[in-house]
Structure 1
Amino acid sequence: MNVLTYRYDRKIIQAGILHIGVGNFHRAHQAFYTNQLLNDQDQSQWAICGACLLPSDEKIVKSLRAQQLDYTLTVCGRDGQDEIYQLGALKDLLWAVEDPQALLDKIAESAIKIITLTITEGGYNLDKATNEFILEDGKIKHDLQNPGHPITVFGFIAEGLRRRRNSGNGCITILSCDNLQHNGSTAKRAFTTFIAAQDKDLAEWVETNVTFPNSMVDRITPATTAEDVQRLNRKSGMEDQAPVYCEDFIQWVIEDNFIAGRPAWERVGVEFTNDVTAFENMKLSLLNAAHTLLSYPSFLKGYRKVDQAMHDGDIVKYVRDFMDIDITPHVPAPEGTDLAEYKKTLIERFANRSVSDQLSRLCFDGISKFPVYIMPNLTKMIKAGQDLSRVAFLIAAYRHYLRYLVDDKGQSYEIAEPWLTSDDQKYIASNDPLDFLGLSPFKSTDLKAADCFVGLYSQFVSSLKEKGVEPVLQSVVA
């Protein structure tokens, strides 16, 4: 199959962006846009220097370095037609475990004008109930006391900014690319709280020299398995140790607030605006919430891929009714957006067999996802006196998923919830289902006080244990 390669000379391009978290989503989204833009000669200063912080990043670092940081991206069309790109937007790749000082110096470098982040929803170290930065975390305490030898993203950026200020290398933008409502404001709260606790003078400098634009990102990008690597390389004819594949839909909307300049990403389809709120609300409330909604019931039903679940009529109706009945009243469409068409496209995207995303990826870290994707609109639904059956069923299914570790087909599984607290563990283990409603991601709303919710939830908990998912789901969508 023909591979679409870049036209620019990688010897000439320079890194103006430092990106922390060189995972599949970044390489299919921000790096894809940037790769397309670098073909314009006047944008050659906007290549990306990737940065990885964790010991577990060793494989991706070594794989990319072995192929001079080039990699392939297979874009899977909903019509069954794929396109394969060779991307070269990564100019450098730093691994903090190997050389932390190199990363600190790179943050301080005058050529770097933007730091971008994909550190996941849970990576901002915010308390799920109060949304405040957790200064008592052990790693945070270490970094507060050892500024020259950081181990967290907060410590690295604080020390890098300190060196930048001391060198007189100018202002900079920090741009979150994570799936969070007001992700720029969230990043600002996290980083400025840490910096203020560590260095008051630096905090004052940050106030006037660092901006934190909000953004909305969207492209379904599955994890790449060993089997996927072989499959993708057969298709491309390449020997790529780190290939990525994704859907054909892509969107990036950014608040135009870049204090040190920015790439002309609008040339390749990025939308710039003064306020991303409506776009964020639409995407988080419909796409991300629907992903969470379908993930646990589908997994418990025995499915392991999203596209498989989305060819189940009950699952599809469950998702459609959630979007149309529960959520649409709370989602004003951004200017120029046809909400009905957006929802129709979401169903098509979820059912795209070429992408075949893992349900386990959607189930991962529900503790961080529920407060962002589900709880804000559930709170509105309770106040509006809406039908709560679909969301009550979801939360009952989430409890069942965390508690029993066996699906309806008798297959055992392991959960991946890195942010579970000791109290959360007690609530999951409790024989009283109402205790589960005290779980940390639900603390923004007193669910126990909502009688209409409690009755439905309690009924679904009992029915799931007695009957399994299929008949209970059928009753929900009937």
Structure 2
Amino acid sequence: MNTITYSYNTKNITSGILHIGVGNFHRAHEAAYTNNLLAHQDQSNWGICGVSLLPSDKNIVERLRKQNLAYTLTVFGRDNRDEVYKIGSIVELIAGYEDPEAVLRKIESSSIKIISLTITEGGYNLDKETGLFNVADEKIQEDLKNPKNPKTVFGFIAEGLRRRKETGNGGITILSCDNLQHNGNTAKKAFTSFIKEQDSELAEWVNLNVTFPNSMVDRITPATTEQDIERLNKKSGDTDLAPVYCEDFIQWVIEDNFIAGRPAWERVGVEFTNDVTAFENMKLSLLNASHTLLSYPSFLKGYRAVDQAMQDDDIVQFIRTFMDVDITPYIEVPANTNLKLYKQTLIERFSNRAVSDQVSRLCFDGISKFPVYIVPNTMKMLKDDKDLKRIAFLIATYRHYLKYKVDDNGLAFQIAEPWITKDDELIIADDEPLYFLTLSPFKSLDFSKSEKFLEQYIKFTIDIKEQGVGRVLKNVLS
């Protein structure tokens, strides 16, 4: 298969974007859009300087360095038409764990106009119950007390901005690319809360010189295993140490609020708007919520790949009914959007075997995902006294997943919940099903308003333990 290689000379590209979190999604999304844009000669000052702060990123950093930061992106189409692209838009890569000073100098640099982020939903350090920035966190406290020797993303950006202020290098935009509703508002709350605690003068400067646009990002990008690397290189004929693969669907909608200028991403398909709310609500409520909806029932039924789960008619019907009955009444459809087609496309995307994600990755960090993807719509349904049967089943499966750690086939598994608290662990260990509803993600939901929900939920928890998820799901669908 022929690889479509970038046409620009990377030596002529200047970094105008500093991106923290150079993972697969960034490399299949923002870096891919930027790669296409850099073909335009007047955009050569918008290259990306990647930054990795975590020692756990060392493997990918070293692999990218060995190949001058370029990598292949294989795009698998739903129509079985696949394409391979050589991406060169990441023109610098700094490892904060080995050279923190280099990161600070780069943030300070006048050439950097945007700091973009993919630090995951849980990376903003907001309390799941109050929504406030968790100042008491041990690492945060350490950074607050040692501003010139930061360890967290908040400490790095605060110190970098402080230097930028002192040298008069101008304002900057912090652009979140994480799957959060109003992700710009979330980033603003997190970073300004940290900065206010550390430096009141810097906080005043940030208020006038830093913007935080909201954005909506969308592209299914699975994790890449060593087996995937072999498979992708065989397809491309390359010897890439760090290839990425993704689906053919891509979308990025951004509020046009860039204080120091921005790339002309609209030339390559990015949509700019004054208000991203309708777009992000549709995506988070349909795509992300449906991912969470299918994750725990599918995993407990024994499926490990999403496309395999989507061969199960019960799973598909469960998702379709959730989208049509539970979500659609609360969707404000953006202009020029065919909602029926959007939902059908989601089913096709989930079923795309070539980019099938691991169900375990969808299950990962439910503590952070439920408040973002499931709770907002559930709150509206509770208020309107809607039938919460599917939500009750989902929460019952989540409890079973966390508490018993065994699927319908008797296979044991390990859970991955990095943000779980000690109080959460005590709640999970308790045998009373209703006590589980006090888990941190559900604190904002008053389930006592719906006796029917409570009855359904308790019955589901008992039935799942006795009969397995598969049999209970059939009852949910009946």
- State the distance in 1 between where 2:72 and 2:413 align: 32
Cα distance in 1, alignment partners of residues 255 and 194 from structure 2: 24
Query: Which SS does the other structure have where 1:75 is aligned?
Result: strand
Deviation at 1:431, TM superposition (A): 0.6
Alignment: residue pair count: 478
Q: How does 1:354-365 map to 2 (within 5 A)?
A: 354-365=354-365
Conserved? CA contact 2:382–2:447, under 8 Å: no
Secondary structure class of the residue paired with 1:7: coil
1:461 corresponds to: 461
Map 1:336-375 → 2, pairs under 5 A:
336-375=336-375
Secondary structure of 1:11's aligned partner: helix
Matched, 1:150 2:147: no
Alpha-carbon displacement from aligned partner over 1:113-170 (angstroms, at most 9, x marks no partner): 0000000000000001111000000000000000000100000000000001111100
For 1:292 and 1:111, the matched residues in 2 are separated by 40
Partner residue in 2 for 1:381: 381
Contact 1:437 1:448 in 2 (8 A): no
1:219 correspondence with 2:219: yes
Residue pairs, 1:294-373, within 5 angstroms: 294-373=294-373
SS of 2:32's equivalent in the other structure is helix
Deviation string, structure 1 residues 381-439 (Cα, Å, up to 9, x no partner): 11111111111000000000001111111111110000110110011000101111000
Q: 1:453 and 1:420 mapped to 2: Cα distance?
A: 25
| Identity within the alignment, % | 68
Equivalent AA in structure 2 for residue 199 of structure 1: D
Q: 2:44 is paired with a residue of what secondary structure?
A: helix
Provide the TM-score with structure 2 as the length reference. 0.99
Find the counterpart in structure 2 of residue 39 from structure 1: 39
Greater shift, 338-347 or 442-451, is seen at: 442-451
CA distance in 1, matches of 2:477, 2:95: 49
Q: Which letter maps to 1:155? A: G
**Secondary structure of 1:178 counterpart:** coil
Whole-angstrom CA distance in 2 between matches of 1:31 and 1:413: 35
1:398 aligns with 2:398: yes
| Structure-2 separation of matches of 1:155 and 1:409 | 46
Cα separation, 2, equivalents of 1:407 and 1:471: 13
Provide Cα deviations, 1:16-60, integer angstroms capped at 9, x if missing partner: 000000000000000000000000000000000000011101001
What is the DSSP-based 3-state SS (H/G/I as helix, E as strand, rest coil) of the residue aligned with 1:278? helix
Cα distance in 1 between the residues matched to 2:79 and 2:300 = 29
Corresponding residue number in structure 1 for 2:447: 447
Kept in 2: contact 1:434–1:448 (CA 8 A): no
- 2: CA distance between counterparts of 1:80 and 1:385? 44
Q: In structure 2, what is the equivalent of residue 184 of structure 1?
A: 184
Q: How does 1:83-162 map to 2 (within 5 A)?
A: 83-162=83-162
Which letter maps to 1:133? F
Match of 2:64 in 1: 64
Partner Cα separation in structure 2 for residue 276 and residue 196 of structure 1? 27
1:193-227: CA deviation from partner (whole Å, max 9, x where unpaired): 00000000000000000000000000000000110
Q: Secondary structure at the match of 1:92?
A: strand
Amino acid at match of 1:22: V
Q: Are the equivalent residues in 2 in contact too, given 1:178–1:217 (CA < 8 A)?
A: yes
Name the SS for the 1:190 alignment partner. helix
Distance (Å, rounded) in 2 between the aligned partners of 1:203 and 1:471: 55
Question: Counterparts in 2 of 1:147-296, with a 5 A limit?
Answer: 147-296=147-296
Q: Structure 2 CA distance, aligned partners of 1:167 and 1:190?
A: 24
C-alpha displacement of 1:354:
0.8
Displacement of 1:449 after TM fit? Answer: 4.4
CA distance in 2, matches of 1:47, 1:53: 19
- Offset of residue 448 of structure 1: 4.0
TM-score normalised by length of structure 1? 0.99
Distance 1:293 1:137 in 2: 31
- Moved segments of 4+, more than 3 Å: none
Preserved CA contact (<8 Å) 2:287 2:346 = yes
SS of aligned partner of 1:205: helix
- For each residue in 1:280-312, what CA deviation from the matched residue of structure 2 results, as whole angstroms up to 9, or x when unmatched? 100000000000000000000000001110111
Match of 2:408 in 1: 408
Alpha-carbon distance in 2 for matches of 1:227, 1:448:
48
State the secondary structure of the residue aligned to 2:245.
Answer: strand
Q: Counterpart of 1:394 in structure 2: which amino acid? A: L
Q: Decide whether the 8 Å contact of 2:311 with 2:351 is kept in 1.
A: yes
Unaligned 5+ segments in structure 1 are none
